[in-house]
Structure 1
Amino acid sequence: MDIERIATTDAPTPAGHYSQATAHNGLLYVAGQIPVRPDGVHTFDEPFEAQARQALANLLAIVRAGGSAPERLLKVNVYIVDIAHWPAFNRVYAEAFGDARPARAVIPVPELHHGYLVEIDAIAAR
């Protein structure tokens, strides 16, 4: 069972006991990404759209480091605090993904770590 751990300096270093992503059998599993900048600077005080852009940038950096691309994403899970942010997220997501349209779930949650407003995880083909 060959499991590859994926790491890139283009996304924040995990703060806990996990990898940015793992790959196995042609699939890439990206851990939940909150809007921390790659240098570790927190952005929880920034507006929702800025947080969404950063979380997406982290996710896409890891996807690319894992040998995949946005158009090879299969499933994206998005956790947002306050479903009222859904339209803004959908707009930012469409900008980031262009023609790529992976399956997606947007899940409202009561809170996220550090008071962030969005977290995103994904599965991609390699």
Structure 2
Amino acid sequence: MPNRAIIHSENAPKAIGTYSQAVKVSNTVYLSGQIPLVPETMTMVEGDFAAQAEQVFKNLSAVCTAADGSLQHIVKLNIYLTDLSHFPSINDVMAKYFREPYPARAAIGVKELPKGALVEADGIMVV
């Protein structure tokens, strides 16, 4: 087994299944999907799509920090949307959390997400 470490942050929602928040192999970190759960309460953030997207990036950021990185170290980002009409909004929210050069990204329309979330994101980070 290669050099592998399990990453955990108290500042991000606890894993609610058979997975880790992230796994680091050498200098690559595989970030599990984050939905807009508030870590302290494990309940969905209040508000509209933008509020949910903000919480998703806060959660991803906390896991990145626990892995000695930041959102700027993400090289591949996957975003899952239950309504693709939110595509412009996700770009607006991302602009608050990322700066150029931006990561490679996919925005994928899905039927539904855990706990009724409108958005989820996962990624790969290199530190």
Q: TM-score range by the shorter chain?
A: over 0.9
CA shift digits 1:58-92 (9 cap, x unpaired): 00110111011222211000000110000011100
How do 1:71-90 and structure 2 match up within 5 A?
Answer: 71-90=72-91
Provide the TM-score with structure 2 as the length reference.
Answer: 0.93
What code does the residue aligned with 1:52 have? A
Secondary structure class of the residue paired with 2:112: coil
Shift of 1:40: 3.3
Distance 1:122 1:4 in 2: 17
How much has 1:45 moved relative to structure 2? Answer: 5.4
Any stretches of 5+ residues in structure 2 without a counterpart?
none
**Aligned residues between the structures:** 126
Residue of structure 2 in register with 1:99 after alignment: 100
Tell me the amino acid that sits aligned with residue 43 of structure 2: H
Number of the residue aligned with 2:123: 122
Q: Secondary structure at the match of 2:44?
A: coil
Q: Any runs of at least 4 consecutive aligned residues in structure 1 with deviations exceeding 6 A, and if so which? A: none
TM-score by length of 1: 0.94
Distance 1:121 1:60, change over 3 A: same
Q: Where in structure 1 are there 5+ consecutive unaligned residues?
A: none
1:1-126 to structure 2, matched below 5 A, reads 1-43=2-44, 46-126=47-127
